[in-house]
Amino acid sequence: MYTMTSVDRSAWGPAATAVSRSLAVPLAAVGIFATCYYLGYVVSNAFGGVLTDWLGGRGVLAISAIVAGALMVAFGSVRSIALGLAVQGVVGLFAGVDYAAGLRLISGWFGGRREGFAMGVFMTATSLGTVIANATVPRIIEAASWRDSYRVFGAVTLALGVVCAVLLRDPPPDAGPDGVAPARRALPRLQPLVRNRDLLLLGLAGFGGLWGTYGFVTWSNTLMIKANRIDPVDAGTVVAIFAFVAVIGKPVIGWATDRFGLGYRVPTLVILVAFGGVLLAFGSLSSLREFLWCAPLLGLVAYAYSPLTAAWIPVLAGRELVGSAAGGVNAVWQLGSVIVPAVVGAVFHATGSFYSAFVVLAVGPFLGAVACAFIRVDRRAERRVAPVPVA
C-alpha cells in the first residue's frame, strides 16, 4: 500500500509539465501543487500517528487508501487551478497516515535484530513508487493524457485499500505490567514524545534529507526538460533509474546495520553528506548521457538514509508510542517536502540556472547531517508509559 501512495505522490514530477500546459499554470507556480499535497500530508502525519496507536494500523490504512484513491481519480477531471490545488491538499491529507500505520504494523510483527531489514524492505516503497511513476506516466501521457495517469493510479490505490481492509491483520497488543494484554485500545499519552530531544533532532535530520529527496523527485524532470532540453521520456528514465537503485539499496543498508551492528548515527550522517555532494555534482551536468551515469549514485544516497531514520523511531520512542512518534517525526520530515518545491521553483524562475536549483537542494542534506551528529541513543530513558484509557 505504501508503494502505491508513493506512486501517487511521485506522479506529479513527470506529469507537471503536461498539467502546466493543460491548466495554464505558470512555471514558477508548478511546485505549488506539490506543496499543497505535502501540506495535507504533514497535517495527516501529525494526527494520523495518534489514531494509529489508538485504533490500529489496519483500519486507518484501509480507509485512507480508499479515500485517497478516489480523490486521485477526481484530480484527473479537474479543470481549474484552484480546484486542482484543493484536491491535491486533500489527497495528501488522507495519504499521509500510511507511514505511521506501516511502522506500527512492522514494529508489532517484527522486532529485535530483524527490524532494520524489515524497515529497509518497507521503505523501498518510496523509491519503487518513483520508479513506477517515472517509467509509466510519461508514456501514458504520450499515449493518452496526464488525466488518464491519475485515474489509473487512483483506481489501483482504491482497490488496494479494499484489499488491506479484507486481508491485513493488526499485531496482537503488547502485554501490560501484569502480563495481560489490554481488553480495549487506549488513547496514547504524548508527553514523553514532546520532551524527547533526540526525536526532535531526528526530525530535523529527516527534514534535511527529504528536502533533497523530494525536491529532486518533484523538480528534476521539469528542470532537465526546461534547462537542458532533455526529452520528457528520457528525463523520466533518468529519475526511474535514480529510484530503482534505491529499491535494492534500502534493504541492503537495513540488513547491514542489523548484521554488523553498525548503529544508525554514523551511517546516516555519512549518507546525508554524500547525498548533498552528489546533488551538487548532478547540478553541474548538462547532457542525457551524464545524467544517466550519475543517476544510480544519486539514487543510492538519496534514499539509503530512510530505513535508518525509520528504524531509529522505535528505539528513541518506545514501541507503545511508535505510531504517534512516527507520525509526528514524519510530519517534521515532510515539512521539507512542503517547502522545497516552492523554493526551488522561485530560485529557478529568478536565475534560470540548473546548478542554482541543485545548490538549494543540497543545503537540506548537509544541514540534516549536522542535526544527526547530535543524536544520542544512550541519552534516552525508558519511555514505556502506560496509556490513558478512553471510556
Mean pLDDT of the 77-89 span: 90
CA angle, 97 then 98 then 99, to 5°: 95
- 3-class secondary-structure state, position 144: coil
Fold exhibited by the domain 2-169+189-379: Growth Hormone; Chain: A; (1.20.1250)
> 183: pLDDT confidence band, cut at 50, 70 and 90?
very low
Mean pLDDT of the 107-127 span: 70
Kindly tell me if the per-residue pLDDT of 314 is higher than 80. no
Residue 252 and residue 178: Cα distance in Å, rounded? 39
Where do we find the cell 488496494?
160
The structural domains of the chain, with segments of one domain joined by +, span: 2-169+189-379
- 370 by Cβ neighbours in 10 Å (0-12 / 13-18 / 19+) ranks as middle
Which pTM does this prediction carry? 0.71
Q: Are 158 and 66 in contact (CB under 8 A)?
A: yes
Kindly tell me if the per-residue pLDDT of 319 is higher than 70. no
Residue 314 and residue 104: Cα distance in Å, rounded? 9
Report which listed range, 71-85, 251-265, 357-371, is most confident. Answer: 357-371
Report which listed range, 28-32, 38-42, 73-77, is most confident. Answer: 73-77
Where do we find the cell 496482537?
172
At residue 317, the pLDDT reads 74
Tell me the average pLDDT of the chain. 82
**Which CA distances in Å does 214 have to 241, 299, 350?**
15, 12, 21
Q: Measure CA 274 to chain center.
A: 19
> 114: pLDDT confidence band, cut at 50, 70 and 90?
low
At residue 306, the pLDDT reads 85
Residue 248 and residue 12: Cα distance in Å, rounded? 24
> 74: pLDDT confidence band, cut at 50, 70 and 90?
very high
- 3-class secondary-structure state, position 140: helix
CA-CA-CA-CA torsion sign (329, 379, 267, 112): negative
Closest CA to 217 of 361, 26, 22: 361
